[in-house]
């Protein structure tokens, strides 16, 4: 059973199973569509081509933006040129369907040109995707600026060359010619059925194997790339089974390619969402580290003063703001007798007690070595005194046993309370007044709470 579990968990097996499920679902969807619509409009093929063109432009722009964010990902450039060149070649495909632009030219369709652009589109994409896989291998090796530029320019020249070559082989140029489809009978020629289609199938199979070996299907991005190869193998297989243009295989291949590309876009968008989610978590973690004390995880001095200033701006008699400054009694003796490590445990214990003793909207901060401060919004002086007294009594009730060794001996705390009832009071003044009350508590015997008068 364990061997079977490891076999099923293998990412290659999971990828193959996923492809089978998706392809089976798309095939079932197409069969349902054929039952509902037995014949298709001549405009369906150019309409799907338009959607596919937009999808490929979207993916090309997406790859360029990812490359722009991280110039080390040079392999993204090859993928971007693959989809951008594919979009340009689909413009040539649309030019073969004048019915898309002219309402009364339904029968003037150059199927041979459409297949020529289709052939060069697959050649361009397969070769550039193999190049991207090879560039992925050297992603961690630093390249010189000259080599970097040479690779980008080389991909651009190759893309333009393939587009120009497709244009020269089509009916738009008398220089070269190749017959893949008979425009009169719409039958596929032997060159397409027995040579070109088979070569393209082999090329995409090599591309798929190359991607799977190099990338190991390690993340969603490369899952989508491998799935793209599978999709093109399926579309070429559909056309290999079909005998002529405009038959059911002709439309099924283009519909399958369009929907599969849309699924790839969804996968890429999900990949972007994961990247954003991870970066957002890292930003939140970095932000929390910048506003919190690293030892106690209470807020630090800077954040406390900012929060207090913002809260004081709305302070009034009906919405008082209370500040409690507290200091551990004879804490230096703890460090001298038990060591600084034990002293840190005492500070962490007191910090947790403070956080558990106030409301979620209140602020607990560490502003000095053993000095802590609380901000209680919308809290009167009497209520703040009760909170401070509860904290003092709670802390003094712990000893070494009840604190599970975090306190080496009973600890006491002195606390001072100040309440602001006007927005004219500055944050520094609030802390200073509460600090004075705390020192009064120290001077009058420690382990007590004093309200500033």
Distances in whole angstroms, Cα of residue 273 to Cα of each of 74, 259, 266, 270:
22, 21, 10, 5
The span from the CA of 158 to the CA of 153, in Å, is 9
Cβ partners under 8 Å of residue 335, min gap 6: 342, 343
- Residues serving a catalytic function are 370
- 293, 401 Cβ separation under 8 angstroms: no
Cα 179 to Cα 17, 110, 186, 201, 233, distances in angstroms: 38, 11, 11, 19, 22
As a residue count, the chain comes to 453
For 82, the 3-state DSSP assignment is helix
Single out the residue of 352, 115, 104, 376 nearest to residue 242, CA to CA: 115
User: Residue 361 corresponds to which tokens in the numbers above?
Assistant: 């909207």
Contact 93, 37 (CB under 8 A): no
The one-character DSSP state at 98 is: G
Cα separation of 122 and 359, whole Å? 64
Closest C-alpha to 423, from 316, 304, 320, 306: 316
For residues 297-336, one letter each, b for 16 or more C-beta atoms within 10 angstroms of the residue's C-beta and e for the rest, the string is ebbbeebbbebbeebbeebeeeebbbbbbbbbbebeebbe
């Amino acid at each position: 059973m364990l061997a079977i579990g490891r076999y099923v968990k293998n990412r290659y097996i999971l990828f193959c199973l996923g492809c089978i499920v998706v392809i089976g679902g798309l095939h079932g969807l197409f069969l349902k569509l054929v039952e509902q619509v037995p014949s298709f409009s001549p405009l369906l093929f150019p309409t799907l081509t338009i959607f596919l063109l937009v999808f490929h432009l979207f993916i090309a722009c997406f790859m360029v933006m990812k490359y722009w964010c991280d110039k080390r990902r040079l392999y993204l450039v090859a993928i971007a040129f693959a989809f951008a060149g594919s979009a340009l070649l689909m413009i040539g495909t649309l030019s073969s369907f004048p019915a898309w632009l002219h309402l009364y030219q339904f029968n003037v369709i150059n199927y041979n040109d459409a297949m020529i652009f289709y052939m060069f589109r697959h050649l361009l994409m397969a070769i550039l995707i193999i190049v991207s896989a090879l560039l992925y291998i050297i992603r961690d090796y630093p390249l010189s600026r000259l080599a970097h530029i040479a690779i980008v320019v080389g991909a651009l020249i190759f893309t333009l060359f393939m587009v120009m070559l497709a244009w020269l082989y089509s009916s738009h140029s008398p220089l070269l010619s190749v017959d893949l489809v008979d425009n009169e009978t719409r039958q596929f020629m032997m060159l397409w059925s027995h040579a070109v289609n088979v070569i393209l199938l082999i090329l995409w199979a090599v591309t798929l194997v190359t991607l799977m070996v190099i990338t190991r299907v390690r993340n969603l991005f490369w899952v989508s790339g491998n799935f793209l190869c599978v999709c093109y193998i399926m579309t070429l297989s559909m056309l290999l089974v079909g005998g002529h243009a405009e038959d059911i295989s002709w439309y099924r291949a283009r519909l399958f390619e369009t929907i599969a590309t849309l699924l790839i876009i969804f996968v890429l968008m999900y990949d972007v969402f994961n990247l954003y989610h991870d970066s957002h978590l890292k930003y939140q973690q970095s932000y929390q580290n910048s506003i919190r004390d690293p030892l106690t995880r209470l807020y630090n001095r800077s954040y406390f003063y900012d929060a207090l200033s913002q809260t004081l701006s709305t302070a009034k008699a009906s919405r008082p703001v209370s500040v409690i400054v507290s200091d551990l009694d004879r804490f230096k003796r703890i460090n001298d007798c038990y060591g600084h490590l034990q002293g840190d445990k005492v500070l962490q214990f007191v910090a947790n007690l403070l956080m558990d003793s106030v409301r979620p909207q209140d602020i607990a901060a560490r502003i000095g070595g053993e000095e802590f401060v609380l901000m209680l919004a919308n809290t009167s002086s009497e209520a703040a005194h009760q909170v401070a007294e509860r904290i003092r009594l709670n802390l003094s009730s712990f000893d070494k046993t009840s604190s599970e060794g975090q306190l080496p001996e009973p600890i006491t705390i002195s606390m001072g309370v100040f309440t602001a009832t006007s927005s004219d009071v500055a944050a520094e003044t609030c802390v200073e007044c509460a600090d004075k009350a705390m020192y009064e508590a120290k001077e009058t015997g420690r382990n007590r709470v004093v309200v500033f008068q």
